Structure 1
Amino acid sequence: MDGFGDNFDQADVDPAAEFLAREKDQLAGLCDDVIPAASESNTSEGAPANSGFISYEHEYEFNEEVNPPVREEPEKIKKWREEQQTRLEEKDREEEKKKLELRDQAKKELEDWYKNHGEAISKTKASNRESAKNAEKQFVAETAEIEPGTEWERIAKLCDFNPKSSKSSRDVSRMRSIILQLKQTPLTNNA
């Protein structure tokens, strides 16, 4: 199996140990930068001066400038923002003005429509009353002229004798023919 490059004979080598050894070698220089606890001013707290412990309680001064300072906008961008703000405010004022105009116009149109609608209804009512009065007068005049034997003629006036009147209605041709026959030859009372 040596041809495949696998070396299974070294079973006692631990890959985790190899990794830790490599990391210790790479991080060996970083320990020099850390100040040991012995050189700090808090040696009076009971820790021996040469104990070799690294103090994690060391008070580091954080630089306030960790975040980069906020850059000021260029003068052109400031000017554009101000102009944009004024344009938007002007557009808002114009929009409110147009809304008010449209509301006033809509109120006026609605009032005109109600006025015209009321006039049209009153005209329709008046014409319906007038036609109803005329129809009533004509009916009363016709009822005064009733002569015996003319009943079928009056009924024939109320009937539509056009055979092609409506295709969706019932067939009333037989009734039409009977009414026409009775109109032409009225019944006589021989009692």
Structure 2
Amino acid sequence: MSNKMDGFGDNFDDTEVDPAAEFLAREQDQLAGLEDELKPAVTPVVNENGVPEEQEFNTDTLVEELAPSPSPIKQVREEPEKIKKWREEQKMSLEEKDKNEEKKKEEWRNAAKKELDEWYRHHEELIAKTKAANRNAEKQFVAEAGAIEPGTEWERIAKLCDFNPKSTRTSKDVSRMRSIILQLKQNPPTAKQG
């Protein structure tokens, strides 16, 4: 049976060296000594009869034993005088900027309030003028409504239309209607008598 399998080139009997396993074995060999160094040296406590007693493992003492002793070289580093002076100046500068900002905000609020008041006043004046113009136009229309003469209808319609060529985006294009009304005003259609 081994003869049949040899043809495929799978030699499971030959042991190849796995690179990952080799790396792990090498690392374990190198780190093997560290475990002994890190384990706390527990000194057995012997009771009065000379029999060793079991001790509880305390991690706090282990940390204290493994922690390096504080070095006398560590000192609290004081800031240089220039940096202290700069910090004080910076603090004063920021406080002054904050005060100026508050003043400017108040000025802007007052200016905005004045502008709004002015806008409302102007808007109310415009509405009052428009109302007065509409009332005058209505009085004139009512006064002229009684005197209807035949053949003057298109002239009256033309008076009601605004022929100002100004166009705004909000209004519809009425140029064609305007031209038709002007044509009818100039050449009114004749009434057929039958």
* Cα distance in 1 for residues equivalent to 2:34 and 2:189: 125
* Cα distance in 2 for residues equivalent to 1:93 and 1:123: 45
Percent of aligned positions that are identical = 34
CA apart distance, 1:124: 1.3
Give 3-state SS (helix, strand or coil) of 2:115's partner: helix
Name the structure 2 match of 1:78: 84
CA change 1:21–1:108 in 2 (3 A) is closer
2:108 partner letter: L
Name the structure 2 match of 1:180: 189
* Cα distance in 1 for residues equivalent to 2:103 and 2:48: 76
Match 2:99 to one of 93, 104, 114: 93
The 5 A counterparts of 1:38-49 are: 42-44=45-47
1:101 partner letter: E
Match 1:130 to one of 103, 126, 136: 136
CA change 1:48–1:80 in 2 (3 A) is farther
Are the equivalent residues in 2 in contact too, given 1:37–1:43 (CA < 8 A)? no
CA apart distance, 1:36: 5.9
* Cα distance in 2 for residues equivalent to 1:87 and 1:98: 16
The 5 A counterparts of 1:138-149 are: 138-140=144-146, 142-143=147-148
CA apart distance, 1:78: 1.6
CA change 1:47–1:22 in 2 (3 A) is farther
- Whether 1:115 aligns to 2:121 is yes
- Alignment TM-score, normalising by the size of structure 1: 0.54
* Cα distance in 2 for residues equivalent to 1:93 and 1:154: 74
Match 1:104 to one of 104, 110, 119: 110
Greater Cα radius of gyration, structure 1 or 2: 1
2:155 partner letter: K
After superposition, the C-alpha distances for 1:113-159 in whole angstroms (9 at most, x for unaligned) are 1111111111111121112111211222x14xxxxxx52x1234346
Give 3-state SS (helix, strand or coil) of 1:37's partner: coil
CA apart distance, 1:112: 1.2
Give 3-state SS (helix, strand or coil) of 2:152's partner: helix
* Cα distance in 2 for residues equivalent to 1:80 and 1:36: 55
Q: Which runs of 5+ in 1 are unaligned?
A: 1-7, 50-54, 144-149
Name the structure 2 match of 1:3: none
Q: Which runs of 5+ in 2 are unaligned?
A: 1-13, 159-173
2:135 partner letter: R
* Cα distance in 1 for residues equivalent to 2:110 and 2:30: 84
* Cα distance in 2 for residues equivalent to 1:119 and 1:94: 37
